[in-house]
Amino acid sequence: MEGTSRSWHPKLADPSGMRQAKPRFSGKTMVIDKGLGINALEDLLETAAAHIDMIKVGFGTSPLYPRKLLERKIELAKRYGIRIFPGGTFLEVAVTKDVTDLYFKGITALGFDGVEVSDGTIELPRDARSRLIAQGKEAGLTVFTEYGKKCWGSTIEIEDLIRTVRTDIRLGAELVTIEGRESGAGVGIFDADGACRDDKIQAVLDRIEKPEQLLWEAPQKSQQVHLLNMLGPDINIGNVAPQDILSLEALRRGLRSDTFDFILDHKSRAGLVYELTFEI
């Protein structure tokens, strides 16, 4: 540290020199909350709020909390400038039970400022998906949509994905999530072992004009490393476990060996390769 400053020098805090401060245009991180208590959430936000952009209250867990506790969680996230929304499965339940009006009234009354529109478990026609996006916007919510099925072995249909992304964004969705589940295996861009299907990823990137409009669900560290090295540190990543926020941010900044190249210019990379080769 220089002089009497109590802050880390920028070259140490972010050796990549590429991270944006919140509110970010890209490089967003979404946390999946599968049951954090209020004290755990307070600890998480005190420690890592600067590195969290969205919190998803996973699946359909929202009605399982005591109402006052859930309201406190929502208020706390918003106090730290973090979007918070229920998992898309909860809306799919509302669609199935034909109570979507009650759903939107309920989540806005609680204080949620986002909504996820998905069809991971149900079949949702395009016109119904469009209506839900419009309903979310009319309710004053930030709309996040999701593409992909949750069933084991499901994969990405490229043409359908491209149409979905373009239409959702045109209708006002902020981001379109590529389904990866909380397991990150056997679905979407991941094979049965959780490895990335690079051909699918590249096929998507070849057709999407603005990749910053996508959010990649990648719960496993190996997936995060692979996607960051393949697509760059400022991709949007979701379904990140609360305990992994700082480790993911370290990856984004080149503060872990897995992404050390982010801090090197072309000459430095060449020198590093030479030195390693020489030592061997």
Angle at 39 between CA 37 and CA 44, to 5 degrees: 95
**pLDDT by 10s per residue, the chain, length 280:** 444 457 899 999 999 998 999 999 999 999 999 999 999 999 999 999 999 999 999 999 999 999 999 999 999 999 999 999 999 999 999 999 999 999 999 999 999 999 999 988 899 999 999 999 999 999 999 999 998 754 344 566 788 888 999 999 999 999 998 865 444 445 567 766 667 778 888 888 888 888 899 999 888 898 899 999 999 999 999 999 999 999 999 999 999 999 999 998 644 544 444 454 444 4
Looking up residue 263, the CATH number of its domain turns out to be: 3.20.20.70
- Is residue 25 one of the residues assigned to a domain? yes
- Is residue 2 one of the residues assigned to a domain? no
Residue whose entry in the numeric block shows the structure tokens 């009605």? 63
- Find the domain containing 138 and state its range: 10-279
- Is residue 5 one of the residues assigned to a domain? no
- Is residue 4 one of the residues assigned to a domain? no
- Structural domains counted in the chain: 1
Which residues touch 277 (CB under 8 Å, ≥6 apart)? none
